[in-house]
Amino acid sequence: MDLARLIEIYLEHLQARKLAANSLRAYRRDLETVAGELVELTGAAADQLPVERVDASVLRSAFARFAGARSASSVTRAWSTWNGFFGFLVVEGAVPGNPMQVVPKPRNAPSTPKPLQGEDTPERLLRTVASGARRARNPWPERDLAVLATLLCTGVRSAELLELTAGSLAGRSGDRRLHVHGKGGKNRSIPIEDSLDALIQDYLRSRRERFGERLPGSEPLFVDHRGERLQRGGLQYLVRQSLRAAGVSDRVQPGAMVHALRHTFATRLAEDGANAAEIAKLLGHSSINSSQTYIDVTAREQRMSVRANRTLNVLGELSGG
């Protein structure tokens, strides 16, 4: 069977596992980009390259070309994608073995956290946004504050935040949780403290006033000024402009931006005594030290970890609590 058809079959298999839309797009991008290199190397038509011709030798050449203008982390991610793809083909009997095992992949340098710098930066950011100081064509401080507070006090990834729905908020007031569909299809439940819940409820009230509509569980939790799902570019712009309005743009380390708020959440929990297992569970990692060991913690320990987050202190003030 040709490679292009097998790629589509594999993507259908991944879709059946209910992976996040962003994850599926990343899989497709990595598969199709490297496949493009394979097509050029073999001279075959894109839809007529037999999988039998994709051996270790041509894969090594394709990945060498692919790696030319990309970071080690991007190459490693693509390598993992193709390794999973061939593992699937072996199980399905489409190929006799996995050639990726002899295709080298780069070693990633250990990543270091990049939280917002400055002891008072998160509080300064939140207070500035709550005051309406961020300039916008259609000001919506309640929405901006809820978005930033959710990022800072739950540690969700930007892609996870954008995929939240109204139904992602579960539980009664005082025992609210946020159900997150995480990276790699892993779901987790994050405790929402009352001060953050109050800000989110303020935002939802302002949203109903703006658009005069009910919010069924399938509706996106965070929307733009047109009432449509907030997109990645809009979120980045919101965070960038909020940092600028607060005068703390210089406290964001290069390459961080939205992710800096997630790192701030984790860093503050660690500083305030949360252990590695609690932080790993809340962030959706199998291990905070990049090991593959899955660390389980109880719901009570998770809630105690979130409650220790100093950023929550300012939310009660901002919500009038």
CB 276 within 8 A of CB 305: no
DSSP of 72-121: HHHHHHHHHHHHHHHHHHHHHTSSSS-GGGGS--PPPPPP---PPSSTTH
Using 50, 70 and 90 to split pLDDT, how confident is the model at 21? confident
Mean pLDDT across 100-120:
79
Top-confidence residue, 80 or 295: 80
CA 193 – CA 315 distance, rounded (Å): 10
Whether the predicted pLDDT of 225 surpasses 60:
yes
Give the confidence band of 305 by pLDDT, cuts at 50, 70, 90.
low
Average pLDDT in the 187-202 region?
94
Distance CA 247, CA 124 (A): 9
Residues of the chain above pLDDT 70, percent:
91
- Beta-sheet pairing, 176-181 with 169-170: antiparallel
